[in-house]
Amino acid sequence: MNSPSNQLFDAYFTQPAMRAIFSDHGRVQGMLDFEAALARAEASSGLIPQTAVQPIADACKAERYDFAALAQAIVTAGNPAIPLVKALGKQVAAHSAEAERYVHLGATSQDAMDSGLILQLRAAIGLLEQDLAQLAAALAVQAERHADTPLAGRTWLQHATPVTLGMKLAGVLGAITRHRQRLAELKPRLLVLQFGGASGSLAALGEQAWPVSEALAIELGLQLPEQPWHTQRDRLVEFASLLGLIAGSLGKFGRDLSLLMQTEAAEVFEPAAPGKGGSSTMPHKRNPVGAAVLIGAATRAPGLVATMFSAMPQEHERSLGLWHAEWDTLPELCCLVSGALQQALLLVPGLEVDAARMRSNLDLTQGLVLAEAVSIALAQRIGRDAAHHLLEQCCQQAVREGVHLRRVLGANAEVSAQLSAAELDRLLDPALYLGQARRWVERAVAEHQNFSN
């Protein structure tokens, strides 16, 4: 259940379905799913009577438990599994005193919490995979649509040579495709059972430990790792790192979009909607409110990832404090990234593009953004250094006199001796100096399609 402090911002920063996975109900149900599966696994291995399974399974429903009481009990217990198992035992005993003897047999509280977390992460990954696939598809459509739409490339926030909007979007698409690949590669390492008992040896289950472990993994649909990982947290940190990467890529997209929405640029806009992006005092404002979520998530994620890294050197077989530091950190990362993905899915399909403004902005420097094209053409005829020096002088003259570079070049005898008027017109056309922009789009879209198929 969300606290009042979460409710105010969650709709903006978090996907509701992701928050539900990591709600109190979701956390408790994850642990209870572990307990029910443990009973089934131990019964199938002959460790406990089959008659004990149903009373335990029937009690493993989160809605039967008082979350507020559990929260208070955690203060003295040190983790939520301890009071939850006690409450589970009482629920089971109310229907079968015999079955209560077999609740949580051979497990430790961290087994329930970590395996429950993995079940939550599996559901979270399902949402992430779905959203990443939809975002990649939307980016592919927009990249192809604008593969030949020229706009000013910007380096150090200054106009550079022309690029295309499709090329910029293909860059985002490429990153999203790589993140999807990383997620697919990571899943087999991450989605594994945690089951080690008090110190990781499962000594309490004797010779039945391994059969129970195998059966439990099957019950939960998880892989059985080489050994319990109570204090080996690399799997979780790897996933956290990927979430940080996704947040960073979305933040880069949000940053570029917000810059393109600036009044001085006004080239690409978030899709309009009634009341979206308004100001409390300025009726004319159209703020990049979706991009703000992407940038905000990218700003917060590194600190959360750093917490996961900081919590890695956990003591011996069970950790004090460092394990606790993970509890809210990884869920919050999932929620932040899910919220950013939801905003990106609202932004990309409906991007409003002003191609005329892009072309107009390309002309702001009056041909200077194409100086490189002329310099390279001249270099083939008079040498690189001479061409560069000549173009530099012509650019300075154009700026000094406030005229178009084409006019200065056409009036320069050295340039005119080498390049005809038609050649100068061609060299100074932004649409003809886009290099491999279309190829980059085609390659990014092909990578996306290959992975998706």
Exposed e or buried b per residue across 277-314, where buried means at least 16 C-beta atoms within 10 angstroms of its C-beta: beeeeeeeebebbbbbbbbbbbebbeebbebbeebeeb
Give the phi and the psi of residue 164 in degrees, each rounded to 5: -130, 155
End-to-end CA distance of the chain: give it in Å, rounded.
38
Active site residues: 279, 318
What single letter denotes the amino acid at residue 386? A
Please list, in sequence order, all residues whose beta carbon lies within 8 angstroms of the beta carbon of residue 306, skipping any fewer than 6 positions away: none
State how far the alpha carbon of 331 is from the alpha carbons of 59, 178, 241, 308, 337, in Å: 26, 22, 13, 11, 10
10 vs 125: CA distance, rounded Å? 19
What single letter denotes the amino acid at residue 243? L
DSSP strand pairing (352-353 vs 268-269): antiparallel
For residue 406, count other CB atoms closer than 10 A to its CB: 18
Q: Are 267 and 151 in contact (CB under 8 A)?
A: yes
Residue with tokens 């879209």: 445
290 vs 137: CA distance, rounded Å? 19
In DSSP notation, 222-239 reads: -B--SS--TT--HHHHHH
Extended strands (E) in 92-172: 150-155, 158-164
Q: Are 227 and 158 in contact (CB under 8 A)?
A: no
